Amino acid sequence: MELKIGEKIAKYRKHKGYTQEQLGELVGVSGQAVSKWENGGVPDTYLLPTISKVLGVSIDALFGVEKKITDYSQDEILDDLFKFCLQKTHCKDDRMDLFKFLFDTIWTVQSAYFGNESRLLLKDVVEKNSGNQQITSQIINDEGTTYLSLVENFPFFCAVCDTPEISKKLLSEKNFGEFFSLLASEDGMKAILFTQSTTETSQYTADMMAKKIGITLERFLEIEPLLVKYGLLNEDSLTLDDSIIKVYHKWSNPEIRPLLIMAYQFINARQCYYDFTCNRTKPYFENE
């Protein structure tokens, strides 16, 4: 048992990236004391809570009696992850980058799914593959796909759970051409970007909208039905001097951003490092 706890301390210390001296300083002992533990000694009992806290593991884990994954229910695993993330969210350290933590978490889950024997640190993978313009991690199987993409200043993640109904809905959609024609036109893109530019709630007449977007009134009236139909503008009416005027409210739609991000990925092919597993046996689209 004495050698076991020393091995565990060494393992978790190295995992944290601490030297023996650094761990000793955090625990309140000398580096020589840490070395003694790792070579067969045993820490004083009163130090165990501090050691476990610094290393981020339970005292049971230090003694090699931590639960196996099969001992946990799915809810227990998710509860622990939830509590850990909640602690990170409430962290007051300004150096804590929550989105970086999120991407590190996603990378870790995907890396484990690939069957790696040890945790690959995302920062190490990025540094090692610095010659690539993009780092990508994917899981592709019959249940769906996840996609983590890291481009400089352009990271994103998506997950799609596949069902037979998804292909049917996508292949039967009649409005794709209409919607993508709006995206494909320069005036349509100008209008979309204007509707998504701010969250202010001002009202605009058609003439004001056209001027704000930078297109003619005639062109605005041509694409206006699509902007309203696809939830980018809300239309209302305003009574002035016994006349009814149609007015518009911009409607911020967060789904536009990921749509453009995915399109950007297609348009800008890059030299890419892939870390992925693919055991999908069925096509992405079934025409039946």
Give the chain's domains with CATH numbers. 2-62 (1.10.260.40), 124-288 (1.10.10.10)
Indicate yes or no: pTM above 0.95. Answer: no
Which of 28-42, 75-89, 127-141, 173-187 shows the lowest per-residue confidence on average (mean pLDDT)?
A: 75-89
Q: Is the pLDDT of residue 214 over 90?
A: yes
pLDDT mean across residues, the chain: 84
**Residue % of the chain over a pLDDT of 90:** 26
DSSP letters for 149-197: EEETT--EEEEEE--HHHHHHHHH-SSHHHHHHHHHSHHHHHHHHHHTS
Which of 33-37, 114-118, 203-207 shows the lowest per-residue confidence on average (mean pLDDT)?
A: 114-118
Q: Which residues contact 255 (CB under 8 A, 6 or more apart)?
A: none
Q: Is the pLDDT of residue 69 over 60?
A: no
Query: For 17-30, how does the pLDDT look when each residue is reduced to its tens digit (9 = 90+)?
Result: 899 999 999 999 99
As a whole number of angstroms, the distance between CA 118 and CA 283 comes to: 32
Rounded to an integer, the average pLDDT of 152-175 is 85
Of 2-11, 122-131, 202-211, where does the model show the most confidence?
A: 202-211
Cβ-based neighbour number of residue 62 at 10 Å? 22
Give 287's pLDDT tier (boundaries 50, 70, 90).
Answer: low
Residue 135's beta-bridge partner residues? 150, 273
Q: Is the pLDDT of residue 2 over 50?
A: no
Rounded to an integer, the average pLDDT of 138-156 is 86
Query: For 78-118, how does the pLDDT look when each residue is reduced to its tens digit (9 = 90+)?
Result: 887 888 777 766 666 655 577 888 888 898 888 888 777 77
Give 227's pLDDT tier (boundaries 50, 70, 90).
Answer: very high
